[in-house]
Amino acid sequence: MWLFKKKGESGFSYSSTAEEVTIGIDGSGLIAIVTGASSGIGAETTRVLALRGVHVIMAVRNMTAGKDVKEAIVKEIPAAKVDVMELDLSSFDSVKKFAADFISSGHSLNILINNAGVMAIPFMLSKDNIELQFATNHLGHFLLTNLLLEKMKETACETKREGRIVNVASDAHYVTYPEGIRFDKINDQESYSKFSAYGQSKMANILSTYELAKRLKEDGVEITANSLNPGAISSNLFRHMTIINGLVSTIGKLLLKNVQQGAATTCYIALNPQVKGVSGEYFQDNNLATPSKKARNMDLAKKLWDFSMDLVK
């Protein structure tokens, strides 16, 4: 439909693909980490970054699937630089091991893309006894970012190139619990709603991005932090919702973005020079957007930051 092709200020639209928003960009010399890179928009993000010359570290829970994706990318792009490392975001020990292994590898780090996630799953606790959606979608990435931040600061300082942190959130943050973040009921199974819990974790992505951007600015470092809504995408993220998954399989191609379009905003923020110096913003369809009022509450963002820091210690 014409509405999907209407271009915003960036010159791109809902229908733009990851390749289109990065045409002509040379990412040679850049190193990026992409979480959840073994499928969906994570795999497409990896492919397009590699196509533009970026050395991509695929951070994946399923190593077999990750290696299959790497093999397919290298087959298509023989010059691609892609490595696969194991990361289970629902486990603080796994996150710490990944960060330690990456730092000991001697790699620099220009781009961190926090993409992985689970959606609308039944109530479960993580290995650290925290509700699984909050633990995986927010806390795992929160810890990973903080553990890698010094490496990103070093890289930005040494290379004189802007570092970029990209948090993949969702407009599902509008469908959270009334209080936004249930600090005193994170593990309350009795009042658990799988959709509200997912929305809560996505709101946490946005709030933590605002607080991180503020801290980076105060530190005076050349690193930006932005969040985004990739849009509704036909992918395996719906696998825990049987009825919806069936609908996605049958009519998704008509009504939802494909993975090439779904990965576009992530790649736009990660590589496009139009976004240089832009930090603490929310993007959608490759253009600036505005999240909910609650997701822009800086007091809530600071409270979440402190709460998260206590949980990951």
- Decide: residue 174, CB within 10 A, 0-12 exposed, 13-18 middle, 19+ buried: middle
- Which pair of tokens denotes residue 274? 């139009």
Name every residue whose Cβ is closer than 8 Å to that of residue 146 and which is 6 or more positions away in sequence: 309, 312
- Which pair of tokens denotes residue 291? 């999240």
Question: Is 192 one of the catalytic residues?
Answer: yes
Give dist(CA 65, CA 189) in Å, integer.
32
User: Are 62 and 36 within 8 A, CB to CB?
Assistant: no
Give dist(CA 209, CA 216) in Å, integer.
10
Give dist(CA 109, CA 152) in Å, integer.
5
Please tell me which residue in 14, 174, 192, 210 is annotated as part of the active site: 192
Catalytic residues: 192
